[in-house]
Amino acid sequence: MTDDPADPTLDPASETERRNFYGRIHGKTLRPRQKQLLADLLPRLSPGAVSVFDNPDRMPVDLTALFPGRPVWLEVGFGGGEHMVHLAQANPDVAIVGCEPFLNAVAMALAKIEDGGLIDRFRIHPWDARELFEVMPAPVFARAYLLYPDPWPKSRHHRRRFVTPEHLVPLHGAMQPGAVLHVATDIPDYVRQTLDEVPRAGFTRLAGDIHTPWDGWHSTRYEKKALREGRRPHYMRFRRD
């Protein structure tokens, strides 16, 4: 890894001809262990050559071959990784794929994966999830999670949210029929957009109280922050038709 701003792999603007990407990819200076994890462990957990930078011809990546006999679950924007690590610990027969472009968060998650002895259960894609969806030859994911995504609160930025056709249509194509998408947010307008856009992309909302977590829910640091600041969480589930 490099902190050189001229490195195209760290510059979302270098992909503007292919698609728009928004958000940070690097924050505070990485600690020595974090740098080591990104240099040594992250390449081992890559799902394959999925980035446009190392797979310009968009060759297929078969995730099922990486985890034979295991259902594969997805978390988009996993933050520090506490939720997906909990999923892996609570569901020992499941494999987890995480997508997260923010390198500091990737490093935090890698430490949790290594400390938990879960390396053989994970693949990590440290970039835009759509990069992965585009090279999957068939629907793979039996479950997907979108938890406390960036709310992009200004109206002019709502098109940057994940719950837009630009993201949801590829996600639908990557999920198996009958798979369930889980969405949690503390932003009422994000709830509105989710309830509008996700069904349009080919999902059916499942019944349930929007303020009651689904079975197996593991609170995240973002939810704890929302509760401290007086915002009420919302939980939604949708079946991929």
Q: Just list the catalytic residues.
A: 150
Q: Which two tokens stand for residue 91?
A: 């569901």
Residues 6+ apart with CB under 8 A from 5: 11
The structure tokens 């349009």 sit at 200
Could you tell me if 222 and 157 are in contact, meaning their C-beta atoms sit under 8 angstroms apart? Answer: no
SS (H, E, C) 76-91: ECCCCCHHHHHHHHHC
- If phi > 0 it is left, if psi is from -120 to 50 it is alpha, else beta; for residue 121 that is alpha
Could you tell me if 58 and 135 are in contact, meaning their C-beta atoms sit under 8 angstroms apart? Answer: yes
Kindly calculate the radius of gyration of the chain based on its CA atoms and give it in whole angstroms: 17
